[in-house]
Amino acid sequence: MMTKMRENTAVILWILVLAFVATIVFSWGMGGFDSNGQTTSTVVGTVNGQDLDIRRFEQLVANRVNNQQREPDDAAIRTARGSAWDDMVSLSLAEQELDRLDLQPRDTEILDWVTWNPPAFFTTDTSFQTNGRFDTTIWIDRLIGNPEFGRSIENYVRSSYPYQKLYSRIYATATVSDADLRDKFMSDNRTASARYLAFPSKALPIDSSAIDENRLKAWYDEHREEYRDTEKRLVEYVQFTAQPSAEDSADALDQANYILKQLAAGDDFGALARTFSADASNAEKGGDLGWFEKGRMVPEFGEAAFAAEIGSVVGPIQTRFGWHLIKVNGHEMRENDKGEKTDQVSAQHILLKVEVSSMTYSDLRSKVDGFVEECRNGGEFKSVAEARGLMVLDSNPLSRDRMAPGLGRNQRALDLIFAAGPGEIVDPIFSKANGWFVYRLTKIIPEGLTPFADVRDKVYAKVADADRVNEAFNRAQEWMGMHSGITSLDSTMAV
């Protein structure tokens, strides 16, 4: 029975894929009903009078977030929401056009499409290929020999074919005139050459004595709007960095020892590397590192590899990357890229990264919550932080559209900071790369004109640049006056 299941694995998987695709089309894209058949009343948006259900939207967002290979941060969630919204709007527009154009396929069209135009993901499936090319005979035999599979393909094509017909019509209306082609060709291929004299201004000297305080203040008054600033915030904050615990390291080491037992039982090193190795650069190659010289690898790895016997497996070896199991396949003097004979080793490896576990994240979050609770219950921010060994940092003035301290571009953090009142502790913000941040709002800087004293240096730079540009222009004018009769430029001409 298991043998039979293995033989039909590809068919079973594709049935599941088709069922999932059908679910997208029929459940998400074909109406306003939930899984119990009840009409929904919560609307997230409307497209040409057609309501978009917020629960469908949230499901699409959740699916995108869950499909990510890492814990999502605020930026990833925003991206998922934007993508889900675009898909819902596009699908709604497509459905409306399908209803208007009545593009439902005939049975003969479905039969022809299923038989001779299988979905693209089947044409690349090796179980339907002969000598690396899609074999229609195998495909038709599978359709006839497995009625359930054939019905799945038919249902998939019947649901997706109208959309393909619609998109074909759209593409067919996209015409390009001869004039458009000519303009495109000319813009891509027409070139010109020119000779010119440059009068750069940046390196020109200026008379600094001509830039006094009165002139600077006059420039400031004339360009006041350039120095008007939006409302800003100042915060103090602490960071709780997520680091792998001793238990996390021990878990990775346990996995390394488990793999060693599998090797001792006769399992293939390359197969285990493809299954377990976290080194994406060579895991699919069975962990093959090729030949390498001394000094190319981190010291712990290199020392172990060059000391091992050919054919042996050494490790677990710990480096800053994690735990390694190393299989040495060769060790000899070989010519390197420079043509020099050097001592080299050929090896495979399995990398087991020491990563922060969910338990470690949970423990750290408990510490974050404890810190926030103590501060909100009257504890002074800096005192509570110091008692817990945390460094308190102060931010520069923050704008709504700038960077959040420690997090970079994180709009949620900035929104929470700008919604807080003076002295308020902002809810903790998490970043996969940096851990948790807790902010306390210390000051609100109102919108207004930045005082002259605060921008004096910037004003001076502007005035100095203007003087340099004027000097460069005057030099260009003077040169033109001396060479008014020339018709071409010579490389020997002095500026």
Q: What is the pLDDT of residues 95-116, one digit of tens each?
A: 787 777 777 777 777 777 777 7
Whether residue 183 lies inside any domain: the answer is no
Does the pLDDT value for residue 38 go beyond 50?
Answer: no
H or E stretch covering 102: none
User: Is the Cβ–Cβ distance between 159 and 20 less than 8 Å?
Assistant: no
Whether residue 178 lies inside any domain: the answer is no
Shared-domain flag, residues 144 and 269: no
0.85 exceeded by pTM: no
Shared-domain flag, residues 89 and 237: no
Indicate the residue among 326, 352, 378 that finishes a domain: 352
Percent of the chain with pLDDT over 90: 7
Does the pLDDT value for residue 308 go beyond 50?
Answer: yes
Q: Which residues pair with 435 in a beta bridge?
A: 431
Picking from 36-40, 277-281, 384-388, which range would have the lowest pLDDT averaged per residue? 36-40
Whether residue 428 lies inside any domain: the answer is yes
Q: What is the pLDDT of residues 290-300, one digit of tens each?
A: 888 888 889 89
**pLDDT confidence of residue 441:** 92
Shared-domain flag, residues 237 and 331: no
The conformation of residue 404, written as its DSSP 8-state character, comes to B
Shared-domain flag, residues 212 and 150: no
Terminal-to-terminal C-alpha distance of the chain? 89
Give how far Cα 410 sits from Cα of 405, 420, 486, Å.
Answer: 9, 16, 58
Shared-domain flag, residues 266 and 312: yes
Specify the number of domains making up the chain. 4
Whether residue 400 lies inside any domain: the answer is yes
Shared-domain flag, residues 250 and 336: yes
Shared-domain flag, residues 202 and 262: no
CATH of the domain at 390: 3.10.50.40
- 399 CB neighbour count, 10 Å cutoff: 15
Shared-domain flag, residues 52 and 151: yes
Does the pLDDT value for residue 15 go beyond 70?
Answer: no
- 156 CB neighbour count, 10 Å cutoff: 20
Q: Which residues pair with 317 in a beta bridge?
A: 324
The distance from CA 124 to its chain's CA centroid, rounded to whole angstroms, is 27
Whether residue 263 lies inside any domain: the answer is yes
Indicate the residue among 317, 334, 352 that finishes a domain: 352
Helix axes 213-222, 452-482, angle to 10 degrees: 90
Shared-domain flag, residues 159 and 24: yes
Indicate the residue among 330, 352, 374 that finishes a domain: 352
Which residues touch 143 (CB under 8 Å, ≥6 apart)? 114, 115, 149, 150, 153
Which residues touch 14 (CB under 8 Å, ≥6 apart)? 121, 122, 125, 149, 152
Does the pLDDT value for residue 495 go beyond 60?
Answer: no
Please classify residue 119 by burial: count the beta carbons closer than 10 Å to its beta carbon, then call 0-12 exposed, 13-18 middle and 19+ buried.
Answer: middle
Does the pLDDT value for residue 141 go beyond 80?
Answer: no
Whether residue 177 lies inside any domain: the answer is no
Whether residue 138 lies inside any domain: the answer is yes
Whether residue 281 lies inside any domain: the answer is yes
**pLDDT confidence of residue 403:** 79
Shared-domain flag, residues 117 and 160: yes
Specify the amino acid at residue 468: R
User: Is the Cβ–Cβ distance between 25 and 159 less than 8 Å?
Assistant: yes
Q: What is the pLDDT of residues 325-374, one digit of tens each?
A: 999 999 988 888 878 888 888 998 999 888 887 788 888 888 999 999 99
Distance from C-alpha of 11 to C-alpha of 54, rounded to nearest angstrom:
35
Which residues touch 114 (CB under 8 Å, ≥6 apart)? 143, 150, 153, 154, 157
The distance from CA 237 to its chain's CA centroid, rounded to whole angstroms, is 27
**pLDDT confidence of residue 27:** 37
Shared-domain flag, residues 236 and 197: no
- Strands in 313-319's sheet, in edge-to-edge order, are 288-293, 341-352, 322-335, 313-319
Shared-domain flag, residues 236 and 309: no
Mean local confidence (pLDDT), 434-448:
87
Q: CA 41, 45, 50, 55 torsion: positive or negative?
A: negative
Does the pLDDT value for residue 235 go beyond 60?
Answer: yes
Q: Assign 25 a pLDDT band (cuts: 50, 70, 90).
A: very low
Dihedral (C-alpha) 71, 72, 74, 78: value to the nearest 10 degrees? Answer: 180
- 153 CB neighbour count, 10 Å cutoff: 23
Structural domain span for residue 328: 246-352
